[in-house]
Amino acid sequence: MPKRAFAALFLLAALITAVLLLQQPKHVRAQQAQLQIASISVGPDQTLTYPVSPASPYVQGLPDEHTTFIPPSSSSDPYLIFGSSRLSTSINNNSTVVLQTTDLQTFSFATNLGYQPGVMGPPVGSNTCNPAYAGNFEENYAAPGSVLQDPTLPAGNLVMIYEAENYCPPGTTTPSGPVYQSTGLARSSDNGKTWPTPGAANRYPVVQPPPSLASWTGSPSLSNGTPSAYIDKSADRNTYLYAVYSTFGFPADGRWHIARAQLGQPDPLNFQKWYFGSFSQPGINGLETGPGGSCPGGYQSLGQISHLDDLGLYLLTVVCSNDTTLTGAWYWSTATSLDLQDWTPLKMIANSQYPISTCNGGPFQFDGWYPSFMSPGMPTNHLALTGRVFYLNGCQVGTRAFAARTFTITTEQQPAPQLTSVANGATYLSGGLVPGSWAQVQGAGLSNVTRIWTGFDFLNLGSALPASLSGVQVMVNKTPAAVYYISPAQINFQVPSGVSGTASVQVIVNGTASNTITAAASASSPGLFPNAVNGVNYPAAVYAISGGYVGPNGVPGYRSAGPGNNIELYATGLTSEPGGVLPATQTINGVTVTIGSVTTPATFAGQTPYVGEFQINFVVPAQFASMPAGNYPISISLNGVSSPAMIGNPPSPIVLPVAP
C-alpha cells in the first residue's frame, strides 16, 4: 500500500511528542548553556588566491565590508561568497561582488553559476555629485555587509544589509571629504543574481544617525554604517533581522550598536535601535546606545554576531582600536539572549593584536579589518569550535589584501555527562534496542543545547546520517550512532547495525565521556509511537483514506475509530534494519494488530523512507460494531514479539479510541 504524504507530516509530530518536545525549534536554540568559553585564539595570516589581475574584470579593494559565506548544498557545489570591492571595469564604484570557492583558499568569480562579477552598486561614483540623486542615501557607495536567506520567504529570497554612503551634502556639486553613512536593506528573489535598482521599493535605508541626511551640512562625518546582520527567532516567536553597526561623528559611546526589525512584514521594515535596555528608538535618526561593554583604550567597530552551536551561545566579535597604544585587536563576548542583549565583558582574541598606522594621509592600516568568522559545513552565521576568519590586511582606503586565519575556541572543562537509563525510542521502556530503530538515553549534562538535526548536519554525508550534533556523540558498543535529538537531559539516537545481546551506551560531549550503561538489544522489539492527548496515550496514527488523526471525539482534528476504518500506525523496533544510513523501503510480512482481545492481520507493514520508522496499516474489525465504545489497549506483533501495552514515563496504557 502506498505511503501517504499526510502520514509523513504526522510522523514528525509523533516523533517530537516522543522526545517530549512541544515545538520543533526552527533555529538552533540554547535551552541551557552549561559550558562557557575560556579563550579564543587565531593562527597566523594565510595568503589567499583571488582575481586581482591581470585578467579583466578583477577586484580592486577586497574586502571593503564584511564577507558572507553561503555553504554549498552538496559536497560537489562551491561556497558562494558575497563581498564588497571595486571592480577594474568600474574603478570609482564599490560593488557587491560574487565569488566562489571549494577549498576556502582559492576564489574565482561565480560566473559559471549565473552571477555577474558585480551584482549591485551605487548610482554614482565616489568622485561625482549627480543632481538626479541629490539627497540619496547611497549616492556614492553601496556594498554588502551580510547577505542572508529570509526564512519567512521561499528559498532563494535573500536579504542584504549593506553600507550606504553619500559624499555630497545638500547644495554641493563636488564630493566633500566628510561622509554620511547609512545602513541599507535590499532584497533579491533569485538567490542574489539580481538586486533592485536605486530608489526601488525593496532597496531603502533602515538605520541612520541624527541629524537626517537632508539636514546634514557635511561636517562632521556621521555614521550608522559598516554593518553585518544576523537572523534569529525571538522569545515572542517572531523572526527578527538584526543589524550590527558602527557609529561616529556625533555624541556616542564608542561602542558597537544594534537595531532589529521583524521579518515577515511588508517593506519597508520597521527597524528599532537599542537604547538603554530595549529596542525602543526608530532606526532612522533615532537615539542609540551600545549594549556591550567597553574595550581598552578606544573605539569599537565592525561587529559581527554568530551563534556558537556547540555551546548554545551567541558570539560577538568586534575590532577594538586603542588610540593610546596605536594598536588594534579582535575582541569577543557572549550572550544567551538577543532580546536581552546580555553580553559578557569583552575579552581579547589571542594573537589578533597588530599595530595601527596611517596610510594615504588618513585612513588607518591594520592587519584585521572587517573580520568575518565562519566554520566549514555550518550554516551562515553559525559556528563550531574551530573555523576560519576572513578579513582585510592593509588600508581601509588604499593597498590591501584579502587574507584569512584559523580560529580555535577553547572551552572551560566540560563536566562529565551522567547517564541514568537507556530505552526504546517510542515506549520509554528499558532495553528494546533494535538495530536501525530509535532509542533514547537519559541523564544529566548530555548537551549544552536542545535541538534536532537539520539539513546542514547532512552536508557532505551522502546517504550517511549525522553521528554528531553540536559536539554530542553516542557510542553503542564503541560504534558511533546516528543522533537525531539532543538536550541536557535526553538524546534520541539510532541503534547502529550489528548490535545484539547486551548493548553498552556512552555519550561524549565535546570530547568528555560519560559513564557507560547497558541495556538489552534484540532483533525485534516493536514500539508504537504515542500521541498524548489530554493525558491519554493514543497511538500516532492517521486515517489512511479519509485523513485526520486518530484520537478522542470532541478534540479538533481528531476522531475515534469505527469498524471498517483504514488506519495507519507508526512504530519503531519492528525488525532489524541497517543503521547509520538512509533506509530503503521494504514490505514486512506477518504483522498483526491486537485491539483489546481482537487480533487482525495488518493489511500492510513495512520500513518507510524515514529513519527508524515502520508503518502498519490495518482495518478496524467488524466485531467492534457490537462492542461498547471506549479506549481499547492496542499492540502490534511480529513473529511472536509484541509491543508493550504500557508505554511512557511513567508507564501508562496505549489505547485506541473506538466509537461504533
pLDDT tens digits, 390-420: 999 998 777 889 999 999 999 988 789 999 9
The residue with cell 556594498 is 143
- Per-residue pLDDT, 570: 96
pLDDT, tens only, 350-388: 999 999 998 876 668 999 999 999 999 899 999 999 999
The alpha-carbon radius of gyration of the chain (Å, integer) is: 29
The overall average pLDDT reported for the chain is 90
pLDDT digits (tens, 9 = 90+) for 198-234: 999 999 999 999 999 999 988 889 999 999 999 999 8
Q: Which residues contact 278 (CB under 8 A, 6 or more apart)?
A: none
Dihedral of CA atoms 367, 368, 369, 374 in degrees, nearest 10, equals 150
Contact between 158 and 191 (Cβ < 8 Å): yes
Query: Look-up: residue for cell 553498552?
Result: 504
Which of 124-128, 224-228, 261-265 is the least confident region?
124-128
- The per-residue DSSP string of 449-512 comes to SBEE--GGGGTT-TTBPPS-BTTEEEEETTEE-EEEEE-SSEEEEEPPTT--SEEEEEEEETTE
If phi over 0 gives left and psi between -120 and 50 gives alpha, with beta otherwise, what is residue 427? alpha
Q: Strand pairing partners for 318?
A: 331
- Tell me whether residue 254 is exposed, middle or buried, using C-beta atoms within 10 angstroms of its C-beta: 0 to 12, 13 to 18, 19 or more: middle
Nearest to 119 by CA among 21, 198, 194: 194
Q: Between residues 18 and 235, which one has the greater pLDDT?
A: 235
Q: Are strands 614-619 and 566-572 parallel, antiparallel or unpaired?
A: antiparallel
28 band by pLDDT with thresholds 50, 70 and 90: very low
- The CA distance from 523 to 390, in Å, is 51
The predicted-structure confidence for 10-21, as pLDDT tens digits, reads as follows 333 333 333 333
Show the cell assigned to 84. 564588497
**30 contacts 384 by C-beta, under 8 angstroms:** no
Res. 4 pLDDT band, cuts 50 70 90: very low
Q: How far is it, in rounded angstroms, from Cα 532 to Cα 546? A: 22
Identify the bridge partners of residue 241 per DSSP, sorted by sequence position: 231, 261
Give the separation between CA 273 and CA 283, rounded to whole angstroms. 5
What does the DSSP assignment read for 38-106? Answer: EEEEE---EE-B---SSSSS-BSS--SS--EEEPPSSTTSPEEEEEEEEETTEEEEEEEEEEEESSSSB
* pLDDT above 80 (res 262): yes
How confident is the model at residue 362, as a pLDDT? 65
Q: What is the mean pLDDT of residues 570-588?
A: 95
pLDDT of residue 307: 96
What the chain holds in terms of domains, given with CATH numbers, is: 5-19+525-658 (no CATH), 51-410 (2.115.10.20), 418-520 (2.60.40.10)
Query: Cα separation of 159 and 422, whole Å?
Result: 44
Q: Can you give the pTM of this predicted structure?
A: 0.80
Whole-Å CA distances, 222 to 165, 216, 226, 248: 10, 9, 12, 6
Average pLDDT over residues 5-33: 35
- Only one residue has cell 528608538, namely 281
| Minimum mean pLDDT range among 216-230, 243-257, 506-520 | 243-257
Three-state DSSP at 16 gives: helix
Q: Which pLDDT band, with edges at 50, 70 and 90, does 32 fall under? A: very low
Q: Given a cut of 50, is residue 274 above it in pLDDT?
A: yes
**Phi, psi dihedral angles at 190 (to 5 degrees):** -125, 40
Please check the confidence at residue 146 and state whether its pLDDT lies above 90. yes
**Amino acid sitting at position 32:** Q
pLDDT greater than 90 at residue 506: yes
pLDDT of residue 551: 95
Please give the backbone phi and psi of residue 5, each rounded to the nearest 5 degrees, phi first: -60, -30
**Which uninterrupted H or E stretch holds 216?**
none
Q: Write the pLDDT tens digit of every residue in 290-329.
A: 999 888 877 899 999 999 998 889 999 999 998 888 999 9
> What backbone torsions phi and psi does residue 391 show, to the nearest 5 degrees?
-160, 175
What would the 3-class secondary structure string for 258-313 be? EEEEECCCCCCCCCEEECCCCEEEECECCCCCCCCCCCCCEEEEEEEEEEECCCCE
Q: Which one of 452-456, 566-570, 648-652 scores highest in mean pLDDT?
A: 566-570
> How many angstroms separate the CA atoms of 468 and 229, rounded?
28
Separation between Cα atoms, residue 125 and residue 175, nearest integer Å: 10
Which tens digits make up the pLDDT trace of 85-95?
999 887 677 88
